[in-house]
Amino acid sequence: MQTGLYIDGRWDSGVSQLENRNPSDVSDLIGLYAQAGADQLDEALHAAKRAQVAWWAAGIQKRHDVLMAIGTELMARAAEIGRIIAREEGKPLAEGKGEVYRAGQFFTYFAGECLRNQGDLAESVRPGVEIDVRREPVGVVAIISPWNFPVATPAWKIAPALAFGNSVVWKPANLTPASAVALTEIIAKQDIPAGLFNLVAGPGRDVGQRLVESRDVAAISFTGSVPVGRGIAASAIENMTKVQMEMGSKNPMVIMDDADLDLAVANACGAAFGGTGQKCTAASRLIVHASIHDAFVEKLVTATEALKVGHALEDGTQLGPVVSEDQLKQNLDYIDIGKSEGAELLTGGERLECGTEGYYMAPAIFAGTTNDMRINREEMFAPITCVMKADSYDEALAIANDSAFGLTAGIMTRSLARASHFRANMRAGCVMVNLPTAGTDYHVPFGGRGASSYGPREQGTYAAEFYTSVKTAYVAAGEPT
């Protein structure tokens, strides 16, 4: 496998390297991966600007065929690339395989979008004038993606960017370079113009900042933290660059007194701790009706303590390690913060020793929490969830909506009236009824409100709003002679 950058149709060694180690076993050195310098980024941007014109001219059938080939190969190699994800990010192998297969589905879905009409005909209010409204590519798209879904998240950005005729400069997360290379190798083998797709890894303070400040970039799609997102938006506005940002979350799950208790526990446990809690859709606030609070908490603790924490590549592992030493330290700091705020730690929250030296942590549940505590206000990105009591549906909804974030939210109830009211009045981009807060389909829009998201939605037909520009053309053909 390559360990370099991919710029203007060729692999490049970069100006420096970083170590990539397995968080399940830090003695396992996966490799040394290239980091770009300013000159290499500039070369990628110039190549992308040139290649975009040729790609748009290649037509819809060509774009369809390329995206279909990428998606098909990703699905065929899900086990192989899923193992890479498990090894470098710590996601259990089954989840890694599923992520890669889903990434393939993004490409095959947008292959189909290449062939669908992207425009409208309209009647003019003036006689003899014809109007057509069409969508055209924005140009060079900068993609900045996170480590927690190192193949799926870039896939749902790269696929529509290419489908709608744009070129791409991709800056992946430095914690997961092997996954980025694996995806790039599949894209690079396609019959595409040199420079259409570029992999430019590097530090955010240098490469990332230069990328978002570039006048050659027409649009920036970013997934990451709120502070970084705000910085990108501030830089982008200088050039009036289009931005699409998915950022933080503090997702609530409401468990009502009429809920199926066992289903509620299963959904809450899976949503809170799946992916070791390192998901923007994780349920980190569990708002439980007071009449079933104690029974729910007892069952949740039992289910949580039964989860198997271990090496991501071992059979039966349900929770792998967290991604890095820094992430583990931050998680343990939040455990101390919760205790200092008066929350009751019911289980977990400590570093675990497993068969190999890695960043393992026992999933944690806090009870007796209130919505003004930091552990209920700040995104922790950790296997930590916090339980709050509510005496009524109205109180539960008010607590759920009392957040700067608004990505996903869920309710567990048998009441159609409550479910319908929650769907209409929960201020979140995605609302789940009797389902985990995590888990979304690839053909429908994804995104949130407040500090969670900024700009047009991702995924599905809604992706066209970001990756295209609308042109309205008026034509007076005159009278035939």
Residues constituting the chain:
481
**Token match 């599949």: residue?**
186
User: How many whole angstroms separate alpha carbon 397 and alpha carbon 418?
Assistant: 10
User: How many whole angstroms separate alpha carbon 274 and alpha carbon 366?
Assistant: 17
What residue type is 450 in one-letter code? Answer: G
Q: State the catalytic residue, choosing from 43, 89, 99, 246.
A: 246
CB atoms within 10 A of CB 472: 11
User: How many whole angstroms separate alpha carbon 206 and alpha carbon 222?
Assistant: 16
Alpha-carbon torsion (308, 311, 313, 319), positive or negative: positive
Q: Quick one: which H or E segment has residue 298?
A: helix 293-305
Half-sphere exposure (CA, 13 Å, Cβ side) for 144? 27
User: How many whole angstroms separate alpha carbon 51 and alpha carbon 60?
Assistant: 16
User: How many whole angstroms separate alpha carbon 164 and alpha carbon 221?
Assistant: 14
Contact 213, 93 (CB under 8 A): no
Crossing angle of helices 152-163 and 60-76, rounded to 10°: 160
Query: For this structure, is 213 an active site residue?
Result: no
**Token match 């489908």: residue?**
163
Query: For this structure, is 386 an active site residue?
Result: no
CB burial readout 126-142, b (16+ within 10 A) else e: eeeeeeeeebebbbbbb
251 pairs with which residues across the strands? 283
User: How many whole angstroms separate alpha carbon 423 and alpha carbon 223?
Assistant: 25
Torsion of CA 274, 277, 281, 283, to 10 degrees: 90
Name the region of 59 (left: φ>0; alpha: ψ -120 to 50; beta: rest).
left
Q: State the catalytic residue, choosing from 114, 269, 280, 386.
A: 280
Contact 115, 133 (CB under 8 A): no
Q: Which residues are catalytic?
A: 246, 280
